[in-house]
Amino acid sequence: MDYEALIRAALAAKKHAYIPYSQFPVGAALLTKTGKIYTGCNVEIGSLGLTLCAERTAIVKAVSEGEREFTAICCVADTEDYCRPCGACRQFIAEFGLDIQVIMANKEGKYETAKLSQLLPKTFQFSKE
Ligand code: THU
């Protein structure tokens, strides 16, 4: 699978990051099973704990447009190291599939990948049983 388009979309979305507090821009791009890409950036507010990460922004945008099936998500920051999704975002991605491929990129567009199931093993799943 060629993830170049997804990484480019995440890098472009990073430019929209609203980051008055951390100055740490993150971009994300989510690939649907039908090949569409939804992007997101982090959005910070003064009540810092309510900050929304880039990955969750992208997922909420896609789901609110009727999408439910995703094959991959990319996240990228302005860092040498690969940008890896935080724990909250891992749980959020897991909601839509442990099989989703996570593309963790750096500012140059280099990346490593892992399945969500590798990033969040023994995942919590809601069950009333
Ligand atoms: N951030 C993300 O957008 N995604 C992550 O997976 C981890 C962190 C954002 C939140 C905050 O705006 C900034 O990075 C610094 O934590």
Dist CA 25 CA 50 (whole Å): 16
Q: Which residues are catalytic?
A: 55
pLDDT above 90 as % of the chain: 96
The response to whether residue 91 sits with its C-beta less than 6 Å from ligand 1 reads: no
pLDDT value at residue 127: 87
Average pLDDT over residues 47-61: 98
pLDDT at 50 over 70: yes
pLDDT given at position 2:
77
Counting Cα atoms < 13 Å in the Cβ hemisphere of 19 gives 17
Nearest CA to ligand 1 atom 2: 53
Q: Which of 44, 40, 42, 43 is nearest to 21 (CA)?
A: 44
d(C-alpha 63, C-alpha 96), whole Å: 10
Tell how far the Cα of 65 is from the centroid of ligand 1, in angstroms. Answer: 23
Token pair belonging to 75: 């996240």
Q: Which atom of ligand 1 is nearest to the CA of 17?
A: 12
What is the spatial distance between Cα 123 and Cα 91, in angstroms, rounded to a whole number?
A: 8
pLDDT tens string 81-103: 999 999 999 999 999 999 999 99
Contact 76, 70 (CB under 8 A): no
- For residue 69, the one-letter residue type is E
- Secondary structure (H, E, C), 56-102: HHHHHHHHCCCCCCEEEEEEEECCCCCCCCCHHHHHHHHCCCCCCEE
For the chain, what is the mean pLDDT?
97
pLDDT digit string (tens) for 12-37?
A: 999 999 999 999 999 999 999 999 99
85 lines ligand 1 (CB under 6 A): yes
Q: Is the CB of 53 under 6 A from ligand 1?
A: yes
Tell how far the Cα of 35 is from the centroid of ligand 1, in angstroms.
Answer: 26
